[in-house]
Chain A
Amino acid sequence: GAVVSQHPSRVICKSGTSVKIECRSLDFQATTMFWYRQFPKQSLMLMATSNEGSKATYEQGVEKDKFLINHASLTLSTLTVTSAHPEDSSFYICSARTEGDQPQHFGDGTRLSIL
C-alpha cells in the first residue's frame, strides 16, 4: 500500500520551456504533498508543501512564480517549472501523506534536464 506515482520519470527539453510534473497517490488520499529537489550527491531539499485545495507554502529561496504548484485533488499535485533554464536541471521528488504525523511516501522522482 501507500504508493506514490510520479510522471514523467525523465524530461529533456530546451531552455525556456515550461515543464509539468505530476504526483499521484494511488491508493490513499493525500491531504498534504511535498515537492523536493535533489542535486547530485546532495540530500533532498524541501521546495514547497501543498495542502489540497489551498495555496502551497514555499520554502525560503524558492520562487513561487517559477515553481507553480497545484494540489487540486486529494490524489494529485502538479509542479510546473516555468521558463526552465539549465540551472533548474535537477532531480525532483514528490511525497504524500494523509495527515499530521503520518509518514511521507515518496515518488520515484523526475530527472529534469534543461539544454
Chain B
Amino acid sequence: KNQVEQSPQSLIILEGKNCTLQCNYTVSPFSNLRWYKQDTGRGPVSLTIMTFSENTKSNGRYTATLDADTKQSSLHITASQLSDSASYICVVSELTGTASKLTFGTGTRLQVTL
C-alpha cells in the first residue's frame, strides 16, 4: 500500500529560526513529490514540486530536497516568520497510465511564535 509519512507531527519554533520537515514515502511508480502549505481553514497551496531527477528546489525561504533512492524528502524553512504557521503536507504522485494518483501525508503542523 502506498504511504506517505511525515515527521514531526507538530513543531513549535521561535520567529527567525530555521526548521526542517521530513517526508518518507513508499509510493511506486513515482511521478513527483510536492510540498503544500495549508493555512487553517484554507485549501492547500503548492510550494514546490520535484521529479525523480531533481535533488533540490527552492521557492523563496522554502527549500525542498528529494532522495529518490531512499524515498525521502525534506522541506527546510529559513528565517521563519509568524505567517509560516500552518500545516505542511507532503504529497506524492503515482503515475498510473495517463493519469496520476496522489497520496497525501498527514502533515506537520508548524507554529512560529515570538
> A residues near B, CB below 8 A?
4, 6, 32, 41-46, 91, 93, 95, 100-101, 103-104, 106-109, 111
B42, B43, B95 — most chain A CB neighbours (10 Å): B43
Asked whether A43 lies within 8 Å of B104 as measured between CB atoms, the reply is yes
Tell me the bound Cα distance from A6 to B44 in angstroms.
13
The residue in chain A whose Cβ has the minimal distance to the Cβ of B46 is A103
Q: Write out the residue numbers on chain A whose beta carbons fall within 8 Å of the beta carbon of B43.
A: 4, 6, 93, 95, 106-109
B38–chain A nearest beta-carbon distance, Å: 9
B114 within 8 A of A: no
Tell me the bound Cα distance from A44 to B104 in angstroms.
7
The verdict on A109 contacting B100 (CB below 8 Å), with A101-B95, A103-B34, A103-B46 known, is: no
Tell me the bound Cα distance from A111 to B89 in angstroms.
19
Interface bits B97-114 vs A (CB < 8 Å: 1, else 0): 011101011110100000
Tally of A-B residue pairs with Cβ under 8 A?
A: 45
The verdict on A44 contacting B100 (CB below 8 Å), with A101-B31, A101-B95, A103-B49 known, is: no
B45 within 8 A of A: yes
The residue in chain B whose Cβ has the minimal distance to the Cβ of A42 is B106
Chain B interface extent, by class = 20 to 34
The verdict on A100 contacting B41 (CB below 8 Å), with A42-B106, A43-B104, A43-B107 known, is: no
Q: Write out the residue numbers on chain A whose beta carbons fall within 8 Å of the beta carbon of B36.
A: 106
Tell me the bound Cα distance from A4 to B100 in angstroms.
19
B93 within 8 A of A: yes
Asked whether A109 lies within 8 Å of B102 as measured between CB atoms, the reply is no
Asked whether B44 lies within 8 Å of A44 as measured between CB atoms, the reply is yes
Asked whether B100 lies within 8 Å of A101 as measured between CB atoms, the reply is yes
